[in-house]
Chain A
Amino acid sequence: DAGVIQSPRHEVTEMGQEVTLRCKPISGHDYLFWYRQTMMRGLELLIYFNNNVPIDDSGMPEDRFSAKMPNASFSTLKIQPSEPRDSAVYFCASRPTGTLGEQYFGPGTRLTVT
């Protein structure tokens, strides 16, 4: 398996623009998680899905953030409008049902908002 795939790997955009981050989980994994990593706040869970359904979005910082999972092999995290404080590395992770919690992380998307 290719592992969790994220695109783009790097994104530079101007404040106010819409940003869409993409994730393809490992085939057969029922859970998908979106994280944000910054030096100040570490790894923060933004939202997670189970069988394509959003379960807990309490970590989404503002209404500017939205996430979708239209099918088992694709998820998006959208920021509209983007702000400089959104600059971070965004990770997608997936895991199968029945495990104790091991999550498989993608390589991340480094977002810079100028």
Chain B
Amino acid sequence: DTEVTQTPKHLVMGMTNKKSLKCEQHMGHRAMYWYKQKAKKPPELMFVYSYEKLSINESVPSRFSPECPNSSLLNLHLHALQPEDSALYLCASSQVGGDWEAFFGQGTRLTVV
């Protein structure tokens, strides 16, 4: 199983809503990532978790709150987002250390209205 599964595939939320994006993998990877991709732009790293601990936060606003409840799951909690936060949110996973490739999920397309 080399899949990274993200839910939901599409999400529309108001600026006062609270929602969560979910990501799951069963490849035994101990590093998980959130990326944000705006239209016609490359993915931009938001957060990295290694061994369920947050290791990298790329100065992401606090209205985005990541959580890694166990080695297979990664959540991104959203609160008080702005329309400019509308984007494709990608989850990825990989091994930690050594040579590895990242496996990406299909993403959640988020629209903030």
Do chains A and B interact in one complex? no
